[in-house]
């Protein structure tokens, strides 16, 4: 496993960090907790020392699964990354979406990061994760109804109280990061980044490089599309959010697979799957600290982690990027 220092912190995270969204089942058509626990344990055995979760993933279920999975692991050898600012139990803040929980019940989700909510969510996360501190505490999405000052003064107090080690953000613009930085030192920004979604290269990457902030790239395999295993006409389980995303239109699946076939010889040469090659390319991009990779079972977790046993030369990275420039997807 390769390890990367996150920003100006002493968090030395595995370049592949376990993404626990699917472990919560919500929006992924459900999931078995035993499979998720075995996946986390298998990842740890392969050198993955960091797990990223959030309360909204399964409305607490993902955090509970993570808490159970790490119970038997040395706490000082595993980094717990979680989030705050998405409430399904309080109608306050920015309305985010209508959804259904894992039991099929309708829920309304709000983006809210008022001070009292930040503190409550932290206490709830500590309980579910079965720990007395969180290594990286990240706002999940911006909340336009709460001043950034209020939110991050609350996070700063959690840090001073020893309940949180470092503060991070997710899905924040450069201007929002700069504002938050006035009240607490940010470690990182967690943002979507993949071969198919490179918008952050314009502003976020330069800002983070200049200011020594880490970038946690989420959905680096674009929710499974970049594994090459999907085909036009792909069937998704009831409740799986992917069936409504533009990337999964039949034409985009076809074009993506055509691109993947162009880089497959390099994967074959290195004894890698396409997904592993994609992860390697991702962590070699400027400014990217780690790639978050989800796994629904132990086999997937091991495969993701073992991508780091290989490496890419500068020329190989450039060759992949060159092929990528010819890929045109339809919105």
Q: In this predicted model, what pLDDT tens digit does every residue of 98-110 receive, in sequence order? A: 999 888 899 999 9
Q: Which pLDDT score, from 0 to 100, does residue 247 have?
A: 86
Using DSSP's 3-state secondary structure scheme, residue 322 falls into helix
- Active-site amino acid positions: 57
Strands 186-192 and 214-218: parallel
Q: Does residue 124 lie in a domain region?
A: yes
What is the pTM assigned to this prediction?
0.94
Burial profile 149-174: b = 16 or more Cβ within 10 angstroms, e = fewer: eebbebbebbbeeebbbbbbbbbbeb
Q: Does residue 261 lie in a domain region?
A: no
Q: Which pLDDT score, from 0 to 100, does residue 27 have?
A: 56
Q: Does residue 236 lie in a domain region?
A: no
Q: Does residue 143 lie in a domain region?
A: yes
Q: Does residue 254 lie in a domain region?
A: no
Q: Does residue 262 lie in a domain region?
A: no
Using DSSP's 3-state secondary structure scheme, residue 50 falls into strand
Which residues, other chains included, contact 218 with Cβ-Cβ below 8 Å and sequence gap of 6+? Answer: 19, 52, 170, 190, 191, 192, 193, 292
Number of domains in the chain: 1
Strand order in the sheet with 86-87: 86-87, 106-111, 94-100
C-alpha–C-alpha distance, residues 177 and 168, integer Å: 9
Using DSSP's 3-state secondary structure scheme, residue 54 falls into coil
Question: If phi over 0 gives left and psi between -120 and 50 gives alpha, with beta otherwise, what is residue 143?
Answer: beta
Q: Which pLDDT score, from 0 to 100, does residue 280 have?
A: 98
Give phi and psi for 233, each to the nearest 5. Answer: 85, 15
Find out whether 57 and 88 touch, Cβ atoms under 8 Å: no
Q: Which pLDDT score, from 0 to 100, does residue 248 have?
A: 86
Within 13 A of 24's CA, how many CA atoms are on the CB side?
A: 23
Residues of the chain with pLDDT under 50: 30
CATH number at residue 212: 3.20.20.100
> Which range marks the domain in which residue 45 is found?
3-228+273-311
Q: How far is CA 175 from the centre of its chain?
A: 21
Q: Which pLDDT score, from 0 to 100, does residue 329 have?
A: 87
Q: What is the biggest distance separating any 2 CA atoms in the chain, rounded to whole angstroms?
A: 54
From the number of C-beta atoms within 10 Å of its C-beta (0-12, 13-18, 19+), residue 121 rates as buried
Q: Which pLDDT score, from 0 to 100, does residue 308 have?
A: 97
How do residues 190-245 score in pLDDT, each as one tens digit?
Answer: 999 999 999 999 999 999 999 999 999 999 999 889 998 888 878 777 777 787 78
End-to-end CA distance of the chain, in Å? 36
Q: Does residue 266 lie in a domain region?
A: no
Q: Find the helix or strand (DSSP H, E) in which 302 lies.
A: helix 298-306
Q: What angle do CA 283, 289, 295 make, to 5 degrees?
A: 65
Find out whether 136 and 81 touch, Cβ atoms under 8 Å: yes
Six token digits for residue 284:
């070699």
């Amino acid at each position: 496993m390769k390890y990367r220092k996150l920003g100006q912190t002493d968090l030395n995270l595995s370049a592949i960090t376990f993404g626990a969204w699917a472990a919560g089942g919500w929006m992924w058509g459900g999931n078995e907790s035993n499979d998720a626990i075995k996946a986390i344990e298998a990842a740890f055995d392969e050198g993955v020392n960091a797990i990223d979760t959030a309360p909204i993933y399964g409305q607490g279920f993902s955090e509970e699964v993570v808490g159970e999975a790490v119970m038997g692991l040395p706490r000082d050898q595993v980094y717990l990354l979680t989030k705050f600012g998405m409430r399904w139990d309080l109608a306050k803040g920015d309305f985010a979406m209508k959804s259904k929980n894992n039991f099929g019940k309708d829920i309304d989700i709000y983006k809210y990061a008022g001070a009292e909510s930040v503190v409550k969510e932290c206490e709830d996360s500590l309980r579910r994760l079965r720990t007395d501190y969180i290594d990286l505490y990240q706002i999940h999405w911006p909340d336009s109804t709460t001043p950034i000052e209020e939110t991050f003064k609350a996070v700063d107090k959690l840090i001073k109280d020893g309940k949180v080690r470092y503060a991070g953000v997710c899905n924040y613009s450069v201007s929002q990061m700069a504002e938050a930085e006035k009240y607490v030192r940010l470690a990182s920004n967690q943002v979507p980044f993949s071969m198919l979604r490179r918008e952050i290269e314009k502003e976020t990457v330069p800002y983070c490089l200049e200011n020594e902030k880490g970038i946690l790239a989420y959905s680096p395999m674009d929710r499974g599309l970049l594994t090459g295993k999907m085909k036009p006409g792909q069937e998704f389980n009831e409740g799986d959010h992917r069936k409504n995303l533009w990337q999964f239109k039949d034409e985009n699946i076809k074009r993506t697979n055509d691109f993947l076939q162009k880089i497959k010889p390099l994967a074959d040469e290195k004894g890698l799957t396409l997904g592993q090659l994609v992860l390697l390319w991702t962590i070699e991009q400027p400014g990217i600290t780690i790639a978050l990779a989800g796994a629904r079972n132990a086999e997937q977790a091991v495969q993701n982690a073992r991508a780091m046993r290989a490496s890419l030369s500068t020329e190989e990275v450039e060759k992949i990027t060159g092929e990528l420039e010819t890929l045109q997807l339809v919105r």
